A and B are shown apart, each in its own frame.
Chain A
């Protein structure tokens, strides 16, 4: 069955580009160009995956994700933005991954599949951002487990940042692809639940909390 996908981007050209890149491999059930229309389209069409631009008129991507709290759809951030705080912010709001718009068509399709299956999608860049965020000195936290990555998680993230695919990481570490995926998901969860000062400050600066 084809995945049902909604495209959210304020540039018609970008949407056209993504549409043609995905071709008929997925079913594009709706498009939106700002926060309000995105929320409406997502609620009406109930897609599997939402491809979400980080910067949108009328608020940013987190506003869309927080605007549809009950949707079963998974979000994949797709952006040219290089600002770490913007990306981390979207992930913290609940997106399951982040890819840059320079991604190839096959890679994008694979990412959509992976997100639809509930897994995390790490581009090398996102892995770098996350490592950087967790590298800062931790605060004495109520739940230290959330504030630190395990050795294995760090290892997986570093391989992702070095450009390895999940399959390559699995064979390199002699673990299954499923285990690699669960490590990646664990990192996302920590990122979302951690109350590290850096992250909270980013969010607070942008009036998210």
Chain B
């Protein structure tokens, strides 16, 4: 029964069952066996109880089955488990269970009491069963009272088993002394080992923290060297050129800020960029090229597609136009993305213009902004008047993204 499937891929007749945490009373062994054989779990539970009452073998079988199933599930975490019912009809399966149970009962009656003897078997079974109970609640929700009860019950059973072992194998009168001696030995061991364990644990913890810190420091140093130190030396060299110095400082500030607050960390490495990153980068590029501060605000985000790329290209033209011709001290870019549409506004508070009297070069520009948006299935509007600044609004409906 090493694998759950035969070679042609069909489930094997006998498989190692999975513990049924969903139906369990104790460890889920009875429910697991029941689903493997194809009978009601109550039958199996009854067998276990009977076996336990007749010499304690039930507890041992239960504990070993639990260990086996757990171990198997851990070794073969991906194995599929498809139980095959063991006989055509339920009555036959139940009958089979009854026969096996009778056989086991007979065996335990005849061999157990004379062999190991009740003096050792009972307490040891009880103790190991208790251990199983306590351990099997390992990674469960400790706030559930049932699980707490189960763990506490397990520990109690272990204690009962140990005390029973002492009481049965020695006379009951030595039990107090035995307990005392055991406690003394245990405490000594704990006293010797505990500080050492504690120190070892905290050492591991400290080392891990130290290592993380060292990594962070190394990353920080590398980044600062590549960016900030380089820029500082550039600034020293360009100290006479005020505009260049300011541009360098601004660019560095932006880079450092992005790095510190992680907005687009790693984004540039990806071929798929997000709308937010792209628009922020667009603003940064124009700001650098034309030495006009560009304030970019983005609401919402998603991966860019081709139509959004066209909208971004149109926004770029509007932005360059504003930076070049408006004479405004600042250009505001606002991008908003919702499920239905993408909107980008490019606004300056510069000199503005009358659209009926636009010089040809600028009319060409606004036409190309409109053209780009229309080709992408969107629209654009330009609002401006002399002395009133200018705002270009780009609108791209997104409901149609499903179309080719």
**Which residues of A approach B to under 8 Å, CB–CB?**
80-83, 102, 104, 124-125, 127-128, 131-132, 135, 158, 161-164
Contacts and interface: CB of A to CB of B under 8 A. Distances in A.
Given A80-B257, A82-B261, A125 B295 contact: yes
Contacts of A82: 257-258, 261, 263
A205 to B, nearest CB: 14
A124 B332 contact: yes
B232 to A, nearest CB: 16
A135 B334 contact: no
A128 B257 contact: no
B215 interface: no
B338 to A, nearest CB: 8
B332 A162 contact: yes
Contact of A128 (B293, B297, B349): B297
A163 B332 contact: yes
A81 B261 CA distance: 8
A47 B198 CA distance: 53
B391 interface: yes
Which of A132, A162, A163, A164 has the most B CB atoms < 10 Å from its CB?
A: A163
A128 B280 CA distance: 13
B299 interface: yes
Interface string B138-171: 0000000000000000000000000000000000
Interface residues of B, number: 21
B295 A162 contact: no
Interface of B: 253, 257-258, 261, 263, 293, 295, 297-300, 329-330, 332, 334, 336, 338, 345, 347, 349, 391
B249 to A, nearest CB: 12
Nearest to A131: B299
Given A125-B295, A163-B349, 17 more contacts: A80-B257, A81-B261, A82-B257, A104-B329, A124-B295, A124-B297, A127-B297, A131-B299, A131-B336, A135-B299, A135-B300, A135-B338, A161-B334, A162-B334, A162-B347, A163-B330, A163-B347
29 contacts: A80-B257, A82-B257, A82-B258, A82-B261, A82-B263, A104-B329, A124-B297, A125-B295, A127-B297, A128-B297, A128-B298, A128-B299, A131-B336, A132-B299, A135-B299, A135-B300, A135-B338, A158-B334, A158-B336, A161-B297, A162-B332, A162-B334, A162-B391, A163-B295, A163-B330, A163-B334, A163-B347, A163-B349, A164-B347
Nearest to A125: B297
A135 B276 CA distance: 15
A82 B298 CA distance: 12
A125 B295 CA distance: 8
A82 B338 CA distance: 22
Nearest to A86: B261
Contacts of B349: 163
A131 B347 CA distance: 19
Nearest to B280: A82
Nearest to A101: B253
A167 B330 CA distance: 18
B298 to A, nearest CB: 6
Nearest to A165: B349
Contacts of B391: 162
Contacts of A125: 295, 297
Contacts of B334: 124, 128, 158, 161-163
Contacts of B297: 124-125, 127-128, 161
A128 B345 CA distance: 13
A80 B295 CA distance: 13
Contact of B293 (A80, A102, A127, A164): A102
A161 B295 CA distance: 10
Contacts of A127: 297
B4 to A, nearest CB: 43
B261 A132 contact: no
B394 to A, nearest CB: 12
A166 to B, nearest CB: 14
Nearest to B253: A80
A128 B296 CA distance: 9
A161 B336 CA distance: 10
A82 B284 CA distance: 14
Contacts of B332: 124, 162-163
Nearest to B254: A82
